[in-house]
């Protein structure tokens, strides 16, 4: 494919720097780019949905460059991000005799990326890995930034490591087979980048979201712009000590909803929780007098136009009582010293970290959100 149709986003992290390439058709020529990293063998970690669709094309492209390959397929779904899943992947990597100089390739959504990345971080005390994200969420979010890990019985993503990939290849054509619900869920994260600090990008999203879903050049642009935004935050705050927290806009509410629905993807997938959370973060900001109500309405209108939920009443099976919601929020890792930390906004593209938000204000807001007049 012509280089001109590929958008490259650098992630300048010193000796951990890497490039993100975005474009249609990257999978078919992945071998050339991966071989340039200097490796002998590649362990392709994928899941049982994605593997049958794309693993062979990747393996062929690698073999054409003289690289040996092994494919490791795990069951799809969040439950695979577990100690058992980690054991399966690490043992398969070792059985394939992948050495320190070789590569692990994560071909799949965020589940595969987080799991394969963590396996790469720990197996033989660390081998290099590359990301070939196949969901919109993983192309715009989880494949960039080096956070890898699995879930524990104590909570999501609690066991993991920072391990930056050596390369990210986001082939946007792979999203053509993604179920529309997963596409929408990833889109919530795209819109989030505009809402955090880029009002022009949010306006672009309002005008161009149909092309993103349809797979036109707008899709590449949306993925690339999201990667630029995420890369900029990661470069400022690689290990999430400071303003990387802004990436959690919508997530305090969203995580609470995921917890309440017991991570049951039949009821709510992460991006749907984030969409409701984004709308709530803006409504809460308006409630606190920080931003105009019209801004919150604009956020809600855009998310609704794309088919995303924005209200608690849209959670299938309900979202429980105000106390249950507060409890679920209090378990969030962003709680420090009993006070709730939120990412709030003074307007679209003007988000900030608000610490010490009084629980009572949250309670009154949630009472309003759960009142029948809001449904
Ligand atoms: N590391 C990070 O910074 C970070 C950030 C955000 C989310 N995450 C993690 O990402 C995970 C969610 O990722 P996700 O939303 O990509 O979900 P996922 O990996 O579970 O993929 C969603 C579903 O789509 C299928 N699929 C993937 N690509 C496909 C394709 N091209 N065609 C058809 N089907 C396809 C998968 O098999 C799966 O069934 C969560 O575990 C979350 O914790 C990590």
User: What does the pLDDT read at residue 263?
Assistant: 87
- Could you identify the atom of ligand 1 that is nearest to the CA of residue 81? 41
Q: Please tell me the distance from the alpha carbon of residue 251 to that of residue 331, in angstroms, as a whole number.
A: 13
φ and ψ of 47, to 5 deg: -115, 175
Distance 187 CA to ligand 1 centre (A): 13
Pocket test for ligand 1, best of 117, 133, 173, 182 (most atoms within 8 A of CB): 182
User: What does the pLDDT read at residue 110?
Assistant: 97
Pocket test for ligand 1, best of 20, 27, 49, 227 (most atoms within 8 A of CB): 49
Degrees to nearest 5, angle at CA 199 with 345 and 258: 50
Find all residues with CB under 8 Å of 299, minimum gap 6, and list them.
195, 278, 279, 282, 348
Pocket test for ligand 1, best of 11, 79, 137, 184 (most atoms within 8 A of CB): 137
Query: What letters, b where the CB count within 10 A reaches 16 and e where it falls short, cover 79-90?
Result: ebbbeebbebbb
The response to whether residue 163 sits with its C-beta less than 6 Å from ligand 1 reads no
Look at residues 254, 255, 234 and name the one whose alpha carbon lies nearest to residue 244: 234
Find all residues with CB under 8 Å of 356, minimum gap 6, and list them.
339, 341
> Is the overall model pTM greater than 0.75, yes or no?
yes
DSSP state, residue 41: E
Q: Please tell me the distance from the alpha carbon of residue 146 to that of residue 114, in angstroms, as a whole number.
A: 9
Q: Mean pLDDT over residues 141-168, rounded?
A: 95
Helix (H, G, I), strand (E, B) or coil at 365: helix
The response to whether residue 177 sits with its C-beta less than 6 Å from ligand 1 reads yes
21 flagged as catalytic:
no
The rounded Cα 372 to chain-centroid distance in angstroms is 32
255 flagged as catalytic:
yes
Q: Which of 59-68, 301-310, 338-347 bottoms out in mean pLDDT, i.e. has the lowest?
A: 338-347
Write down the catalytic residue from 128, 184, 219, 230: 230
Q: Please tell me the distance from the alpha carbon of residue 371 to that of residue 313, in angstroms, as a whole number.
A: 10
Q: Please tell me the distance from the alpha carbon of residue 345 to that of residue 296, in angstroms, as a whole number.
A: 10
Q: How many CB atoms lie within 10 A of CB 153?
A: 7
Q: Mean pLDDT over residues 217-232, rounded?
A: 97
The response to whether residue 234 sits with its C-beta less than 6 Å from ligand 1 reads no
User: What does the pLDDT read at residue 4?
Assistant: 61
In total, the chain counts a number of residues equal to: 375
Q: How confident is the model at residue 331 (pLDDT cuts 50, 70, 90)?
A: confident
The response to whether residue 31 sits with its C-beta less than 6 Å from ligand 1 reads no
- Could you identify the atom of ligand 1 that is nearest to the CA of residue 111? 19
SS3 content of the chain, % helix, strand, coil (to 5): 55, 20, 25
The response to whether residue 109 sits with its C-beta less than 6 Å from ligand 1 reads yes
* Mean pLDDT of the residues in the chain: 94
Q: Mean pLDDT over residues 183-209, rounded?
A: 98
Better pLDDT: 339 or 62:
62
User: What does the pLDDT read at residue 329?
Assistant: 87
The response to whether residue 111 sits with its C-beta less than 6 Å from ligand 1 reads yes
Would you state the structure tokens that stand for residue 125, as one six-digit string?
């005390």
Q: Which of 33-37, 102-106, 232-236 bottoms out in mean pLDDT, i.e. has the lowest?
A: 232-236
248 flagged as catalytic:
yes
Would you state the structure tokens that stand for residue 286, as one six-digit string?
């308006």
189 flagged as catalytic:
yes
Quick check: 334 pLDDT over 70?
no
Long-range own/partner contacts, residues 163-166 (CB < 8 A, 24 or more apart): 163/117, 163/118, 163/120, 163/121, 163/126, 163/129, 164/11, 164/13, 164/16, 164/18, 165/18, 165/106, 165/117, 165/129, 165/130, 165/131, 166/18, 166/37, 166/103, 166/128, 166/129, 166/130
Q: Mean pLDDT over residues 54-61, rounded?
A: 98
User: What does the pLDDT read at residue 60?
Assistant: 98
User: What does the pLDDT read at residue 180?
Assistant: 97
- Closest residue by Cα to atom 19, ligand 1, is 109
- Report in angstroms the alpha-carbon separations of 300 from 52, 128, 261, 295, 306: 37, 41, 22, 9, 10
208 flagged as catalytic:
no
Q: Please tell me the distance from the alpha carbon of residue 244 to that of residue 224, in angstroms, as a whole number.
A: 19
244 flagged as catalytic:
yes
Tens-digit pLDDT profile for residues 289-329: 999 999 999 999 999 999 999 999 999 998 889 999 998 88
User: What does the pLDDT read at residue 372?
Assistant: 73
Percent of the chain clearing pLDDT 70 (strictly above): 96
- Report in angstroms the alpha-carbon separations of 198 from 329, 347, 348, 351: 27, 11, 8, 10
User: What does the pLDDT read at residue 245?
Assistant: 86
Q: Mean pLDDT over residues 27-37, rounded?
A: 97
User: What does the pLDDT read at residue 333?
Assistant: 52
User: What does the pLDDT read at residue 36?
Assistant: 97
């Amino acid at each position: 494919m012509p280089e001109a149709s590929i958008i490259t986003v650098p992630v300048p992290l010193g000796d951990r720097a890497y490039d993100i390439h975005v474009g249609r058709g990257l999978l078919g020529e992945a071998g050339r780019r991966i071989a340039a990293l200097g490796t002998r063998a590649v362990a392709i970690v994928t899941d049982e949905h994605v593997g049958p669709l794309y693993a062979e094309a990747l393996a062929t492209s690698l073999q054409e460059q003289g690289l040996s390959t092994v494919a490791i397929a795990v069951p799809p779904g969040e439950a695979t991000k577990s100690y058992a899943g980690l054991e399966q992947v690490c043992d398969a990597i070792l059985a394939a005799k992948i050495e320190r100089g070789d590569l692990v390739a994560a071909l799949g959504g965020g589940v595969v990326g987080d799991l394969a990345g963590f396996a790469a971080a720990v197996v033989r005390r660390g081998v290099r890995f590359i990301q070939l994200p196949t969901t919109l969420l993983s192309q715009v979010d989880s494949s960039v930034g080096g956070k890898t890990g699995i879930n524990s019985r104590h909570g999501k993503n609690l066991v993991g490591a920072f391990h930056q990939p050596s390369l990210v290849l986001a082939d946007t054509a792979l999203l053509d087979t993604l179920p529309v619900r997963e596409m929408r869920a990833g889109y919530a994260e795209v819109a989030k980048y505009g809402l955090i600090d880029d009002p022009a990008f949010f306006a672009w999203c309002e005008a161009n979201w149909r092309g993103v879903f349809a797979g036109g050049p707008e899709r590449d642009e949306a993925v690339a712009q999201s990667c630029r935004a995420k890369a900029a935050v990661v470069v400022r705050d690689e290990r999430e000590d400071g303003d990387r927290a802004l990436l959690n806009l919508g997530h305090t509410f969203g995580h609470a909803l995921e917890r309440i629905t017991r991570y049951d993807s039949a009821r709510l997938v992460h991006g749907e929780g984030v969409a409701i959370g984004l709308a709530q973060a803006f409504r809460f900001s308006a409630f606190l007098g920080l931003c105009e109500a019209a801004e919150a309405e604009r956020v809600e209108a855009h998310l609704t136009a794309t088919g995303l939920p924005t209200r608690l009443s849209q959670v299938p099976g309900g979202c429980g009582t105000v106390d249950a919601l507060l409890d679920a929020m209090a378990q969030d890792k962003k709680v420090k010293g009993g006070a709730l930390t939120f990412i709030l906004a003074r307007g679209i593209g003007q988000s900030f970290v608000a610490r010490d938000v009084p629980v009572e204000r949250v309670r009154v807001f949630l009472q309003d959100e759960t009142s029948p007049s809001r449904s």
